Amino acid sequence: MSKKKETEQKGSNPVIWYGATGLLLLVAIAVVFFAWQQNQTATEAAMAPSAVEDGLPEYNVQTWVKGDPNSEYRIVTFSDYGCIHCARFHSVVEDFIEEYGNIIAFEKRHYPINNNYHSRMAAVASVAAGKQGKFWEMSNLLYYNTDRWRVENPEPGFLGMAEFLELDMDQFQQDLYDEDITYTVVRGHLAAREFGINATPTVYLNGEQIRAAVSPEQLYAFVFGEEPPSSDAE
């Protein structure tokens, strides 16, 4: 056999070629895996609570407060718009404010149970309305009209509520599918779950968990440690 043919056969050796290709493939996989691992670590860090405030996770996302934001008494509620018990407690809070005024800070944090699609979309709808100054008004509608959005296609229900509140419909519909808003809702849910929240409503008073009051009077007693003043007291 001539040296030329011998050289050509060695140059086309399939064992050597596949070996080199396999090595390059392993290197490529290793690089991709390392990049994925770094990104995964960064994502988990972003989703986790960054600090602790009064014993509760600090989300670094917008929260919603009504009442007196500077009150020494702060009630934080983790709730789901599709939860009937959450709706009842929301009603208690509304009645409390009407009865006793803005003497407490009430903060709502979204916690769609099991991160289910409908409740997550409802949370996004409330934030979308909040961007137009109607967060609490939308919350009222969502709590008390679950039959409008807990259906196969919830969008018409959300749009109907937005129209009722006289929102900018183009802006609302755009925000309803905004990835950043959805991310803040999911991020808050994951942080709460990591903290240990697993039911709704879960209620905290100044960082200490309390029962969800069933009446404004009971809530007053939970907060101040005494019965509310009589309405006919002078």
138-149 pLDDT, tens per residue? 999 999 999 999
Asked whether the beta carbons of 111 and 141 are under 8 A apart, the reply is: no
Please identify every stretch of the chain with a pLDDT value under 50, giving residue numbers as ranges. 2-10, 15-18, 31-52, 233-234
Q: What is the CATH T-level fold of the domain 56-224, as seen in this structure?
A: Glutaredoxin (3.40.30)
94-103 pLDDT, tens per residue? 999 999 999 9
Q: How far apart are CA 7 and CA 2, in angstroms?
A: 9
Residue 30: the pLDDT is: 53
Residue 114: the pLDDT is: 87
Domain residues of the chain, as ranges?
3-47, 56-224
Sheet (strand 64-67) strand order: 64-67, 105-110, 74-79, 202-205, 208-210
Write the DSSP symbol of residue 232: T
Residue 39: the pLDDT is: 40
Q: Which residues of 211-223 are buried (b: 16+ CB within 10 A; e: fewer)?
A: ebbeebbbbbebb
What's the Cα-to-Cα distance from 175 to each of 152, 162, 201, rounded to whole Å?
20, 12, 26
Q: What is the CA radius of gyration of the chain?
A: 27
Residue 234: the pLDDT is: 44
Residue 40: the pLDDT is: 38
